[in-house]
């Protein structure tokens, strides 16, 4: 069975997309690539994707504004944990960016706990994308056949102590 990746901005129905660290360079670019509000001007009855995001207070990344767009609903994991967990469970796509050194690992843990909740598993299918630094594989021995690592190789991962 082959899986054809779908372009999120080309999906016909509106999706709820959560991007952590949306004010970082990577989060901003992901938002810009997935947004479809500018495409929908020419399609009657179509709805744009709804974006949720969290901010990394230590990440400036050249951004002048705290959020790349006012079309993103900002969430607070620490001040409103129940609302945060509910929003995570309602998202169709969850993009967890832990690639930046200043990322909030407590927030990442809250996202994973919300997704593991038994109520969330019964509601709907969700897509989780975790973006990490390539340094988390830096001390891993390469495969004998020279092939790149895959999801199945996660247990073989050996990071440098800092990562």
Give the pLDDT confidence of 35-77 residue by residue, as tens digits.
Answer: 877 666 666 766 788 899 988 776 555 444 555 566 788 888 8
Strand partners, 53: 19, 74
Q: In total, how many domains does the chain have?
A: 1
| Residue 159 resides in a domain | no
| Residue 143 resides in a domain | no
State the pTM of this model. 0.74
User: Domain with 118 in it: what CATH number?
Assistant: 3.40.50.720
Please compute the mean of the pLDDT values over residues 105-132 and round it to a whole number. Answer: 79
Q: Domain range for residue 41?
A: 12-132
Give the pLDDT confidence of 75-91 residue by residue, as tens digits.
Answer: 888 888 899 999 999 99
| Residue 154 resides in a domain | no
């Amino acid at each position: 069975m082959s899986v054809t990746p779908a372009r999120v901005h080309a999906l016909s129905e509106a999706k709820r997309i959560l991007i952590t660290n949306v004010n970082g360079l990577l989060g901003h670019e992901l938002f810009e690539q997935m947004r479809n509000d500018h495409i929908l001007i020419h399609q009657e009855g179509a709805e744009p994707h709804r974006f949720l995001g969290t901010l990394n207070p230590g990440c400036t990344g050249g951004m002048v504004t705290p959020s790349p767009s006012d079309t993103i609903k900002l969430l607070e994991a620490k001040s409103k944990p129940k609302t945060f967990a509910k929003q995570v469970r309602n998202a169709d796509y969850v993009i967890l960016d832990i690639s930046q050194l200043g990322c909030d690992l407590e927030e990442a843990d809250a996202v994973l706990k919300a997704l593991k909740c038994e109520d969330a598993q019964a509601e709907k299918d969700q897509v989780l994308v975790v973006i990490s630094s390539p340094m988390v594989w830096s001390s891993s021995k390469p495969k004998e056949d020279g092939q790149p690592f895959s999801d199945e190789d996660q247990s073989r991962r050996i990071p440098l102590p800092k990562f």
